[in-house]
Each structure stands twice: as C-alpha cells, then as structure tokens.
Structure 1
Amino acid sequence: MVTHRRLFLFCVAVITMAATLSFVQVLAANGLSLLHVALTVVFVPLAAWLAQSFCTLTAGAFLLIWQRLRRRGSPPGGLEDRAAGLDPVLPRVALVMPVYNETTARVFAGVAAMRDDLAALGVAARFDVFVLSDTTDPDVWLAECEAWHDECQRGESLPALYYRRRLHNLRRKTGNIEDFVERWGGAYGAMITLDADSLLEARTIWSLTRRLDASPGTALIQAAPKLVRGETLFARLLQFAGDVYGPLSAAGIAFWAGGEGNYWGHNAIIRLNAFAACCGLPKLPGREPLGGEILSHDFVEAALLRRAGWRVEMAWDLAGSYEEPPPTLSDFMIRDRRWCQGNLQHGRILFARGLHWVSRAHLMTGIMSYLTSPLWFVFLILAGLQAWTLSVAEPVYFRAGTPWPTWPISQEEEAAALLAAMMGLLFLPKLWGLLLALTNSRDRAARGGAGRLVIGVLVETVLSALIAPIMMIRHTRFVAAILTGSGVDWTPQRRTAGRQTLLGAARANVDVLVIGVAATVAVLLYAPALGWWLVPVLAGLVSAPWLCLLLDSGKSGGPLARWGLLGIPEDRVPPPVLTLANEHEARLSALLASATPADRFAAVLLDPVRNARHCALVNEAGGGSALPPEVARRAEVIAVHLEQAALTRDERRALLERPNRLRRAHDQIWANRDGGLSGTPGPEPNVAA
C-alpha cells in the first residue's frame, strides 16, 4: 500500500509540475507581469486537482483490469460461509435508516425489499431493521406508523422491523444516529447505515457483514452506491455516468487509500463499539455556517476512526449497493448547497491533532471539490483580462539600450498543446470507462450494445460539458455565501421531479444567464480570439434555462430513453431487490392512498387500539416535545369540543407528541358521545365529530 501511495503521489506531482512549467513558459515568452503571476497562482491548484482526479481514475481502471484478469477462469464465488456467519455467537447487525419527511411508500418499500431479499438468502436471523424517523410533519408521521404496522404483519421469517420517531430533532441526522447508538447500539455488534433512498442486495449486506467478521481491526467498510431508478433525463445522465465511470473512482480511491479509506454516510457497515467510542462529534467553535454542528459528518467520522487505530476500507469490488439520484438539476444544487457548507467546515478540522495524513487528504479533497469552481471562475476572468491586454497593447520592438528590434514570440502552438494535455486529463478517464465497458461482453449487452454505449458516452460528455459552467457559477455563489455568513436550512430532499416551465427555469437561472450574456458580449467585443476556446463555457451559461428545462422535464428520460441511450444494466434486467422495491411501493402507495391524513389522525384520536399503539410508540421513544405545552392544551380543547379539522398542523403534532393529553382527549370524546366509557365504544365517529 505504501508503494501504491508513493506511485500515486509521484504521478500527481509530475503531472502538476509539468503542466505548471508549460503554463509559465507560455506566459513568460514575452516577459512576466503581475497578471501572469496571478494566473499561475490560480493555475497550480487547478492543475493539481485535475492531476489527482486523472491519476485516481486511471489507477482505478488498472485495478479493475487486474480484477478482471484474476477472475478469468476462476470459479464464481459463493456463499459457503453462510452457516458460519449465522453462528449465534456472532454479534447481530442492525440496518439503520434515518428518515426526515420522506415519501413514506418509497421508504418502506425499500425496507420491505431488503427484508424479503435477506429472507430469500436465508440469513435474516442475524439482522434487524430500524427506521429512525425525524419527521416533523404529523401527517407523514402517521403514514409512517401505518406503513410500519402493515410491514410488521407480513411474516415471522423476515428480519425484525422497529420504528422510532424522535420528538426533538437535535443535531439532525448525526443526532438521530447518535440516539440509536446510545439507546440500542449495545445489543448489536455492527450497523449498516442507510439513507431513505438506499437499497442493498442481500448478498451485498452479507458480504459486508462477513468481511467485518473476518477483520477485527476494521471499523468501517464502505460499499460504493450506484444510482438507479432515475426517470428524468438529468437523473438518467447521472446514472449513466456513475455506471460507466463510477467504478473507476471507487477503485482508484481504494488504490491509494487502502486501510485509510473514507465514509460517504450511507451504504456502509460500521463496528458499533468503535463508532460509539470514537465518533461523538462536538460543535465547532464560532457561529454557523462554518461553526456549529458539523453537517458533513461522514468524512469526519472516518477520520476519527482511523485516528483511533481502526481500519476504514472501501469495498470497491462489491456490487448490489444502490441509491437514487436527485431528479432535477435544481434538486441536485439544493443538495450540493448543503454539502458545500459541510465540506467547507472541514477546513476547521483539517489540522486537528492525531489525524492520519490520508484522512486529511480526504477532507481536503472534499473542500477542493467546491473551491475549484471559484478558482476556475477567477482563472477565466484573469484569462479574459490577459487576452484583452494582448489585443489592445501596442508591440514594442525597440527597447532602451538595444540597437536591434525585439520580435514578439508566438506561443500559440505551445498553448494549444498545453490545452490539449489538460483536456486529456479531463476526458481520458471517460475513455478508460468506455473501453472497460466495451471489452466486457455481458456489460456491453446489458447497456444496449456497443453502438448505444458509445453514443451514450458522447451524449453524456456533451451534456456534462454544458452543465459544468452552470455548476461553476452555482458553486461559486455557494462558497461566497458561506464565507460571508449565510447558512443553510435542513429541508427534506425531493425524490421526484415536479412540473417545470421555461419561465420557471429562466427565473431559477437568471444569474447564470446574465453572466453568460455579459461574458459573451465582452469576449466578442474585446477578446474575439478567445471566443472559440470559450464556446463550451459560454454556450452552457447562455443556454442554462433551456438546458435545465430539457434535463428536468419528462418521465423516463424522453426520446433518449426510447432510443435505448443512457441506459444502465439495472434498467434492462433489474436485480430482485429493485423489482421487490417497485412492487412494494405500488402496494404501499395503494394502502396509504386508501385513507386521507385527516382519516389517519381521526383514527389515532378515536380508535382505542390505534390510540394505545400510538401512545406506546411515543412513550417508548422517550424525550419531550419541542412544541410549547400551550399548543397541546389548545389542541386538546379543540379536538374534544370542536372538530379535528379545525386543528392546525402544529396543533395536531403537539397533541400526537403528548400521550397523556392524546389519551385524555380520546377518553373525553367517547365519554361525551356515550355518556360514559364502556368496553365496546360502538360505531366509530366520523372525522369531523
């Protein structure tokens, strides 16, 4: 592993130095100026960023080729250790899914699919599943309770399913996981962390579990999630890119990280005693957005585990780990805004004592993934100024003290060669991914054949090139907002696309459009020679509203999907866990649609069985409501003496979060209706009773 890292660092250093020297040579042909120095200062980190990305993806390609050669002629791996893995002496494993105001049917469909797949594999006895809700909407909360109760009735051979909703959403997802670890973690040896849109095949869950069993010095094993179930063109674009190039990234990181790997927050197995001992996260000093709660907790938790001596590994060779992409570019940006703040917070942690230097490299990589955008923006502005100064400056042929002329030196060929080399660093890894996919007959057929695969890569490359300048402007705004003190709200992630119009897309991208038009006019007027080099950037900025409308609208990806482009193998032959998830989502959607939110609230308020079950769930979760007591008192009076429809959302939530008041309201309603409580309350009142 040390050799791998030295080779990797050597390649990154050589490429960065060669690119920088070539760049300086081009700039200094006719003398260096302060503008040239500024350009060089900005160019160096950008060259290093491109170099590390190229070397990571290239190392990943070689690792995948080596894996393919090793597997050739070898018998397929099996699950011979299944019986050993079910030894009752081994610790149990919890599948932990935190949720926050998510679409209930989608959440519990994934849970149901994984439970079914584990039972079909015959390993359900070692696993329990926890849905850890931080939902604040009372209507969604009651829907979760109903879906959980329905799922619990399906069979005894499935892994046990537990549901808990916190009354007070302290510290967001980090606090949700922390609450689980403190209250229930002692009963389990490990947990597999999931997002609300996560899906893991049973074979993947089992492989992660057995790898952790076999490696007592390992605290965390991260499986690389693959994007699936996308419907819009944007989602399919992300899926296709992740399918073709994603394995190179995961394998490349594993190549140089080794036992100092990283954690991406979900689809990973974690040893619970190590996590409990090492991963309590303090608040950062100072105010938000750079202080306060750590938003991107996963990188930090991996670094803390490694600091304590535990190994953190990347399971780059495991398939069967899935998540869903953001449906639209707008949703992607909303998520990226939160990630940007979390990653910039890592600058406060980067130099913490005791961290392994590879852990610091992971943290720095996360920071640079957002800082490169303002650096590119500044670089383009400086390059434009350089082109303008060259266009307006008069050449000086005779300098003081010299009787002979000094002719300007043209560096156009050298500049073109440097640009081609930088483009190679950016686009050659796409070629590695394409070649790996083309040379595997099974993968090639699963993606629709060689022709569709090549065309798909071309389409993805063009669209990604147009999206890149929009991302540059957005990330630059994010970084500027965060550095000037603007924080981010904790909002649920939208999983499905809404209806988009050109006017809405123009409003959402008015800043990008204005910058694009202004930059185009400036280039044409003052630096026309630069225009051809900037066509991809200017085209992406000017076409932003139309591009977003194209990417965000339409189900199933539109014409490209009908032509079989941008497809992934899971589209053609879905694995069982995805098929099960789709079936369960249809079933649960029908179940939840059979009653309105008002019906569910009335049932909890009026039905003795549901009332008792709800009160027991709240008491089991513990804690106190975050809403003021007077809201619950008012809600109780309205529910008993007026009608449930008059309750606001906060009043419904306040009443549902206080079992004593909810039970008393239930008793008073029946007492008022019957003149006294009895064992058989009679016909159920209507919703407005």
Structure 2
Amino acid sequence: MADQNKEERLAMLTRRRLFLLCVLTITLLATQSFVQVLGANGLSLLNVALIVVFVPLAAWLAQSFCTLTAGALLLAGHRIRGGDLLHVDPEDRAAGLAPHLPRVALVMPVYNEDTARVFAGVAAMRDDLAALGVASRFDVFVISDTTDPDLWLAESEAWRAESARDPAALPPVYYRRRLDNTGRKTGNIKDFVERWGGAYGAMVTLDADSLLDARTIWHLTRRLDARPRTALIQAPPKLVRGQTLFARLLQFAGDVYGPLSAAGIAFWAGGEGNYWGHNAIIRLSAFARWCGLPKLPGREPLGGEILSHDFVEAALLRRAGWRVEMAWDLSGSYEEPPPTLSDFMVRDRRWCQGNLQHGHVVIARRLHWVSRAHLLTGIMSYLTSPLWFLFLILAGLQGWTLSVAEPVYFQEGTPWATWPISREGEAAVLLAAMMGLLFLPKLWGLLLALADGPGRRARGGGLRLVGGALVETVVSALIAPVMMVRHTRFVIAILTGSKVAWTPQRRTAGGLTLADAVRANLDVLVLGVAATVAVLLYAPTLGWWLVPVLAGLVGAPVLSLLLDSGEARGWGPSRGALTIPEDLDPLPVLSAIDAHEARFKALLAAAPEDRFRAVLVEPETNARHCALLAEIGEESRLSAEMAQRAEVLAMRLGPGVLTRDERRALLERADSLARVHEHIWAADCDAAPDAGAPTAAA
C-alpha cells in the first residue's frame, strides 16, 4: 500500500510539473511576442501599461487551455479503455448494504423554491434508489429556509404526501424548516450536521434542482467506503431540462465541453480537488470537525459571512489532511440551468461577491498550494473581466495615438532616416494564437463527441452536432462582451461596498419584451454605441479587430430578447439542434421527474389562502403544524407584537386580511395558532343551531 501511494504521489507530481510547464511556456511565449509587437518602435508608458495588463490575461488563457487539453487527453484515454462505470455489480451491492456500514443522508436545502419541482426530484431519486435495491442505506432530508408562509405550508403538504408513499420500499424522507435563517445555506447545512449528522457516516449534498442517478449515488458511496482518507468526492453536475434558447445553449456547451473541465481539474488536482457546493458526497465526521466557517474580517461585502462556502470547505478539509476528489468519470449527476441570461447574471453577482471574499482566505495559514490555486482561479474568473475591459481601453488609446501621431524619420543627432517598423503580421499571428487558446478546447470537445458513436447519434448526428457547436460558439462570442461589462460592474460595486441580497433563484423564464430588454441592457447598449463611434472616428484601424466585441455590446438588447424569451423554438430535440443525449434517451431518474412534478402540482392546486385557512380551522391540520413547530424547537425571530396583531385580525376579520409577514408570524407560534383555532371553533359552535361541532363548511 505504501509503495502504491508513493507511485500515485510521483505520478501526480509529474502531472503537475507538466501542467505548470505548459502554463508558463504559453504565458512567456505570448508575453514575448506581445512585447516584440509593441516595442518595434520603442516602448512608451502606454505600451508598458498594456504589457502589465496582458500578462495575467495570457496566464489565465494559458491555464484554461492547459486544463481543458489535459482533460481532453484524459477523456480520450478513458474512452479507449471503455467500460460502463454506472454498472452496479450485484456482489458489490450486497457488500455495500452490510449492517456495519454507516447510513448516508441525501440532504437538500431549499429556500423559497418551486415546491412541486423540489419534491418531484426527491421522489424520482427515492424511486431510483429503490429500483436499484439499495434504498435501505439511505435517508432523504429536505431542510428548508423558506420564508414565504404559503410555500412553507405547500412544502409541509408535499412532504406528508411523499413520506406516505410506499414507506416500506422507499428511503425515508424527512422535512425540517428553520425559523432562524442565520448563515443562509451554510447555516442550514450546519444545523443539519449538528442535529442529525451523528446518525450518518456521510451526506450527499443537493441543490433544489439537483438530480442524481441511483447508480451515481451508489458509486460515490462505495468510493467513500473504500477510501478512508477521502472526505469529499464531487460528481460534476450536467445541465439538463433547459427550455429557453439560452438554457439550451448552456446545457449543450456543458454536454460537449464541460467534461473536459472536470477531467482537467482532476488531472492536476488529484486528491487536492475542489467542491462545487452540491452533487457531492461528504464524510460527516471530517466535515463536522474541520468545516466550521469563521466570519471574515471587515464589513460586507468583502467581510462578514462567507457566501461561496464550497471552495473554502474543500480547502479546510485538505488542510486537515483529508483527500478531496473529483469523480470526473461518473455520469448521472444533473442540475438545471438558469432559464435566462438575466437570471444567470443575478446568480453570477452573488458568486462574484463570494469569490472575491476568498481574497481573505487564500492567504490563510497551512492551506495546500493547490487549494490556494482553486481559490485564486475562482477570484480570477471575475477579475479577468475588468482586466479585459481595461486592456480594450488601452488598446483603443494605442490605436488613436498611432492614428494621430506623425512619423519621425530623423532623430536628433542622426544623419540617416529611421523608418517605422510594422509588426502587423506578427500581431495577426499573436491574435490568432490567443484565439486558438480560447477555441481549440471547444474543438477537442467536439472531436470527442463526434468520435462517440452512440453519443453522436443521441445528439442528432454529426452534422447537427457540428452545427450546434458553431451556433454555440458564435452566440458565446456575442455574449462575452456583455458579461465582461456586467462582471466589471459587479467587481466595482463590490469593491466600493455594495453587497448582494439573498434572493431565491428563478427556475422558469418570464415574458420579456423588447422594451424590457432595452431597459435591462441600456448601459451596455450606450457603451457599445459610444465605443463604436469612437473607434470609427479615432481608431478606424481597430474596427475589424473589435467587430465581435462591438456587435455584442450594440446588439445586447436583441440578443437578450432572443435568448430569454419563451421556448427555444427550432432548437429543441424535435429538430436535433442543440440536443444532448438526455433529451432523447434520458436515464430513468430523469424520465420520472415530469410525472412526479405533475402529481405534486395537482396535489398543491388549492389556493394558498385555503391552505392557510385549513391550518387555522381544521383540527388535524392545526395539530400537525403545531407538532412540526415543537420538533423545530426554535423561537420565531418575528416580533411577538406582530403575532398578537395577527391573532386579533384573524379572530375579528378572518385570516384573509393578514399580510404575508403576519401569516408567517402566526404560523411560527404554536400558542398563537392554538388560540386562533380555539376562537374559530368556539365561534362556530356558538353559531351552530344544535351547538355541535363545526360543519365541514367551517
């Protein structure tokens, strides 16, 4: 075993040396070429500024290219070796259900989500685990931070229906809603670990839109069983079920190019991998001991509570000596894409703040250097946008300077002419090389998809696969300058003290008009028009070079309208374009979710006010809700005065007059609920002719 571990360490050391050599070589060659182009006629201060900005951008492109290329090579070797990794051997299944092995909890935190979609995913995964024959080792927890009282009651009703469905065959499902939302998602998970974590050996963390095939859950569990020094194994999630054109573009890119990223990170990270916040299995004893998150020094947005907790938790586990691994070779791990570009930006704003906070963490003591690299990568994923923005401004100034400057052929004290040197050819080669760093990994992913016969056919065939790749590449190039401007604004806002609000993620697209699109992108449009005019007037030689950037900025409203509006007509599986294998040949867990979602929508079809009234009026419903409050064992954070006012209003004017906060205040206090319930029953009994129990109509 010691020899094997030594061989693994040497192999990983070799991989990392090759990776760093690749990144450094490309960065140095690109920088050298750039200096030669700019310094042909001497270096000005403007040229020096361009070089200073160019170096980190070149290093960023180099690391991305090397990571994705390494991932492509790893995937190609994996394809050659073949093998169905999702197959579950009956003997392994029997061994994995041995009584001495610890149980595993599937933990889904939710916050004001679509209740039908949440419990449809839970139901589909429970069915899949039962069908595989491994349900006895797993429990499911829906842990809610929902603040909307109507959604809270819907969650309770959906949970009761799901927990009653074939309890002997399916994994048990539990539900808990916190009254105190301290710590957001991190605090929600912390509460679960402290209350129930001791009963489980591991937890599989899920998002509200997560979906994991039972065989993937099983393989993650068995890998953790077999690797006692591993604390976390991340299964890279794949985007599915997108409806809008934007969502389908995202999931097509994730399908064709996404595996390269996960495999590439695994290539150079090894046991110092990363955590993406969900669709991962975590050893609870290690997590409970080492992953308590401190508050960062200073005020929000850069200080205070850590928003992007996952990278930090992975770094803390590795610092404590535990392995963190990437299961790049496992499929069957899914999530859903943001439906629109606008929703994507809302999520990115939150992630931007969380990643920039990691500037405090990256300098923490005793972190592994690979963990620091993960943190720096997350920070640079947003800082590169203002760097690109600054680079374009400096390049524009450079072009303007060259257009207005008169050439000087005779220097003072020199009797012969000095002819200006043109480096346009070298500049074109450098630009082509930089574009190659961006687009060659897309070609690697496309070639791997084309070489996979079944996968190629499931995507509509080779021609449609190539066509989808071309469409995705063109649209991504147009979106890139819009994202550059947005990310630049995010970074500036965060650095100047603007913090993000904790809002639920929208899962479905809404109607968008051209006027809405113009208003939402007015800043980008104005910037694009101004930049176009400036380039044409003062630096026309840069015009052709900047066409993709200017077109994306000026066309932002139309692009947003096209991507965000309604269904992706003509791009769905019926036409074959932008199709992923899960569209035409989904795994059973994916096939089942639509039917379960329809079932829960029918279950929850009653109006929210009727559900609230039932808690106040119906004895059984009232008793169940009060029992849930007793199990929570927390005090409401809403004021007692609000609950008292809600009591009086509900008794005198009826529950229909209460505001959302008043309904929540009433629902969070069992004594208030009991008094309102008793008052309604007493009033109905007094009004009844025979002084009997209230009628069903009451």
The verdict on how the C-alpha distance between 1:587 and 1:680 changes in structure 2, with shifts beyond 3 A counting, is farther
Report the Cα distance in structure 2 between the residues aligned to 1:116 and 1:660, rounded to whole angstroms.
Answer: 38
Q: How many angstroms does 1:72 deviate by?
A: 6.6
DSSP 3-state at the match of 1:645: helix
1:95-110 to structure 2, matched below 5 A, reads: 95-110=106-121
1:193-272 to structure 2, matched below 5 A, reads: 193-272=205-284
Encode CA deviations 1:435-458: one digit per residue, 9 max, x unaligned. 000011011001000000000000
Report the Cα distance in structure 2 between the residues aligned to 1:422 and 1:234, rounded to whole angstroms.
Answer: 26
1:279-678 to structure 2, matched below 5 A, reads: 279-559=291-571, 562-593=574-605, 595-675=606-686
Q: Which moved more, 1:226-235 or 1:604-613?
A: 604-613
Report the Cα distance in structure 2 between the residues aligned to 1:555 and 1:532, rounded to whole angstroms.
Answer: 34
Equivalences, count: 685
The verdict on how the C-alpha distance between 1:178 and 1:337 changes in structure 2, with shifts beyond 3 A counting, is same
- 8 A Cα contact 2:117 2:597, kept in partner: yes
Q: How many angstroms does 1:671 deviate by?
A: 1.6
Amino acid at match of 2:414: T
Report the Cα distance in structure 2 between the residues aligned to 1:73 and 1:588, rounded to whole angstroms.
Answer: 34
Report the Cα distance in structure 2 between the residues aligned to 1:360 and 1:79, rounded to whole angstroms.
Answer: 41
The verdict on how the C-alpha distance between 1:557 and 1:171 changes in structure 2, with shifts beyond 3 A counting, is farther
Structure 1 unaligned runs (5+)? none
Residue 160 of structure 1: aligned partner: 172
Q: Does 1:85 align with 2:96?
A: yes
Amino acid at match of 2:228: P
Report the Cα distance in structure 1 between the residues aligned to 2:101 and 2:85, rounded to whole angstroms.
Answer: 30
DSSP 3-state at the match of 2:644: helix
Q: How many angstroms does 1:77 deviate by?
A: 6.4
Amino acid at match of 2:563: L
Encode CA deviations 1:382-428: one digit per residue, 9 max, x unaligned. 00000110000000000011111000001011000000000000000
Q: Does 1:119 align with 2:127?
A: no
DSSP 3-state at the match of 2:346: helix
Encode CA deviations 1:588-626: one digit per residue, 9 max, x unaligned. 111111x11011011111111111111111111121111
Encode CA deviations 1:281-328: one digit per residue, 9 max, x unaligned. 011111100001000000000000000000000000000000000000
Report the Cα distance in structure 2 between the residues aligned to 1:483 and 1:364, rounded to whole angstroms.
Answer: 17
Amino acid at match of 1:123: V
Report the Cα distance in structure 2 between the residues aligned to 1:150 and 1:515, rounded to whole angstroms.
Answer: 53
Please, which of 180, 184, 194 is the counterpart of residue 196 of structure 2? 184
Q: How many angstroms does 1:74 deviate by?
A: 11
Length-normalised TM-score, structure 1: 0.98
Q: How many angstroms does 1:17 deviate by?
A: 0.3
Report the Cα distance in structure 2 between the residues aligned to 1:680 and 1:131, rounded to whole angstroms.
Answer: 40
Encode CA deviations 1:185-210: one digit per residue, 9 max, x unaligned. 00001000000000000000000000
- 8 A Cα contact 1:228 1:323, kept in partner: yes
- 8 A Cα contact 2:245 2:571, kept in partner: no
Q: Does 1:58 align with 2:66?
A: no
Q: How many angstroms does 1:562 deviate by?
A: 4.7
- 8 A Cα contact 1:60 1:255, kept in partner: yes
The verdict on how the C-alpha distance between 1:376 and 1:680 changes in structure 2, with shifts beyond 3 A counting, is farther
Residue 23 of structure 1: aligned partner: 34
Structure 2 unaligned runs (5+)? 1-11
Q: How many angstroms does 1:631 deviate by?
A: 0.6
Length-normalised TM-score, structure 2: 0.97
Identity score, percent = 76
Report the Cα distance in structure 1 between the residues aligned to 2:396 and 2:90, rounded to whole angstroms.
Answer: 60
Q: How many angstroms does 1:638 deviate by?
A: 1.5
Residue 49 of structure 1: aligned partner: 60
The verdict on how the C-alpha distance between 1:72 and 1:95 changes in structure 2, with shifts beyond 3 A counting, is closer
Amino acid at match of 1:483: L
Report the Cα distance in structure 1 between the residues aligned to 2:635 and 2:136, rounded to whole angstroms.
Answer: 34
Q: Which moved more, 1:632-641 or 1:64-73?
A: 64-73
- 8 A Cα contact 2:86 2:219, kept in partner: no
Q: How many angstroms does 1:554 deviate by?
A: 2.0
- 8 A Cα contact 1:606 1:684, kept in partner: no
Amino acid at match of 1:657: E
The verdict on how the C-alpha distance between 1:300 and 1:34 changes in structure 2, with shifts beyond 3 A counting, is same
Residue 51 of structure 2: aligned partner: 40
Residue 9 of structure 2: aligned partner: none
Q: Which moved more, 1:72-81 or 1:492-501?
A: 72-81
Q: How many angstroms does 1:661 deviate by?
A: 1.3
- 8 A Cα contact 1:343 1:367, kept in partner: yes
Please, which of 13, 16, 26 is the counterpart of residue 24 of structure 2? 13
Q: How many angstroms does 1:559 deviate by?
A: 4.9
Amino acid at match of 2:37: V
Q: How many angstroms does 1:675 deviate by?
A: 3.9
Amino acid at match of 1:601: F
Encode CA deviations 1:570-600: one digit per residue, 9 max, x unaligned. 011121111111110011111111x110110
DSSP 3-state at the match of 1:80: helix
Q: How many angstroms does 1:68 deviate by?
A: 1.2
